[in-house]
Amino acid sequence: MTTHTPTVFILFGATGDLARRMVLPAFYQLDKYGLMPECWRLVGNGRGEMSDEAFQAAAHDAVAEIETDLHAKKWAAHAKNLRFAGGGFSVDDAGELLNVLQQAKSELGLDTQFVYYLAVPPVAFEKLTSALAAHDLLDGAKVVYEKPYGTDPESFRHLDDLVHSVMDEEQVYRIDHFLGKEATQNIHVLRFGNQLFGDIWNARHVAQIHIDVPETLDVADRAEFYDATGAFRDMIVTHLFQVAAEIAMEPPLDMTADNLQEARESVLSAFRPLGTDDVVFGQVNGYRNLPEVANDSNTDTYAAVRLWVDTDRWRGVPFLLRSGKQLQRSHQRVSLILKKPDGPLRHIPGDGTIITFDLSGPGAIHLDLVLKKPGATLELAEQTISLCLDEVPDSDALPPYVSLLHDVTVGDRSLFTSSAGLASAWKVAQAIVANPPAPLPYDAGSWGPAAGTELAGHSGWLCD
């Protein structure tokens, strides 16, 4: 799918780390896959002065880090659409942006649509939103906000009220790259497209659900941002609550954007508010030694959460969410651990039947089964069957940012978070954000504080 509407993308924070690592490569990949609008421009914006040629060179270097076989002719065709508007952008001073946009519109036509991408720290969202309104740039436009969209319930409401005072909800795209992952989308496809799995998607058959995203990475290159948020707000309230909603939602009427969003919103409102017994925070030893971190910082670099979903389908089933820095291994996994069956077979080995969605890279689905071990005796064994999604015939998986940017251009909001859904998520987290538990120390390369492991119950975390 592509759009015939001429489009100008405006990338705020175009010289920043997020733009370099994720957004600029995603725009090139959209172009490479033939998913850009037929006529388009990408305008970078920043406080400093930069020529178009210098911005094109910086974008080339960013893309080359991802595309090791970058084709010269393809890049040249892409680069000719890149522009830069320096001088910053504020309510009082639009810098060069208005002139650059007017020039782009004169080249592309009067029916040009504008897409503003805010790849900036959350503290800049309010100023940029106000500036877009002040300079009359929001009529018919789309605005993409990176997460976190607010850092607590109060800041969320303040920002959301401002956004809705100057544009309609349908214009707003709150990006969450976990929802753009191929394996995340396969959670609802596997469930709704295969009765075998759809029939067991409930508390009668499922004992626990794990949403586990441990990381070996540290935060040295983004310590200032991270120290203002922490693992709970950076990962749990934003990404992992949304993944939990994907698993827990009731079947939507159909797979249209409005009905998918409504299904997620409905189940998010059924998440039970977290109490102190449901949360463990940790802080890796040595974190306070980082240059941009205060000596007395209580920021959590690890968070484990036991979440309850108070619906008839899931009542009594713990959803266990975990994320942290400098842990023993990196994973991005969603696992449904099924209850062990009653019946004639005794001593079911291990955790029994498990359905796992590997969200990392191109994604995979694993099914752990209990089988008879070949031989003369009735000996039970565990065996894993795996389907790597990039091995599906004729598949051409899109990286999450590419998939979500494409959805923005065609106006598909099904994989974006909504105002109502985020309001529910912050309500669930409100008591913890207001009075966070003291983080427990843990060593780099470990699995975090022991209390986080104990939260998962006698089986522990599957990835450990």
Which H helix or E strand runs over 79?
A: helix 72-79
**Residue 373 counted as an annotated binding residue:** no
39, 35, 77: which is closest to 56 by C-alpha? 77
**Cα–chain-centroid distance for residue 419?**
16
Measured CA distances, 375 to 346, 369, 378, 456 (Å): 18, 18, 8, 35
CA atoms 28, 31, 37, 40: torsion sign = positive
* Residue linked to tokens 């598949």: 395
Contact in structure between 162 and 189 (CB atoms under 8 Å): no
Residue 223's alpha-carbon distances to 109, 145, 214, in angstroms, are: 44, 21, 18
Residue 14 assigned ligand-binding role: yes
Asked if omega into 148 is within 30° of 0 (cis), the reply is yes
Which of 60, 239, 331, 406 is the catalytic position?
Answer: 239
Q: Is 215 annotated as a binding residue?
A: yes
Known binding residue 20? Answer is: yes
State the amino acid at position 186 in one-letter form: N
174 is in an annotated binding site: no
Strand partners, 208: 337
Q: Which residue has the tokens 């076989």?
A: 69
Question: Does the annotation flag 254 for ligand binding?
Answer: no
325 is in an annotated binding site: yes
Structure tokens at 305: 């959460």
Pairing between strand 279-284 and 302-308?
Answer: antiparallel
Establish whether 15 is an annotated binding residue: yes
Check the annotation: does 346 bind a ligand.
no
Query: Any catalytic annotation for residue 71?
Result: no
Secondary structure class of 41 (helix, strand, coil): strand
Q: Which two tokens stand for residue 337?
A: 């651990």
| 13 labelled binding-site residue | yes
- Judge whether 391 is annotated as a binding position: no
Q: Is 74 annotated as a binding residue?
A: no
Q: Is 158 known to sit in a ligand binding site?
A: no
Does residue 111 contact residue 144 with C-beta atoms inside 8 Å?
no
| Residue whose entry in the numeric block shows the structure tokens 């100023």 | 127
Question: Which residue ranges are tagged as binding site?
Answer: 13-20, 47, 147, 177, 181, 215, 234, 325
Residues with a known catalytic role: 239
Question: Which residue ranges are tagged as binding site for NADP(+)?
Answer: 13-20, 47, 147
Question: Which residue ranges are tagged as binding site for substrate?
Answer: 177, 181, 215, 234, 325
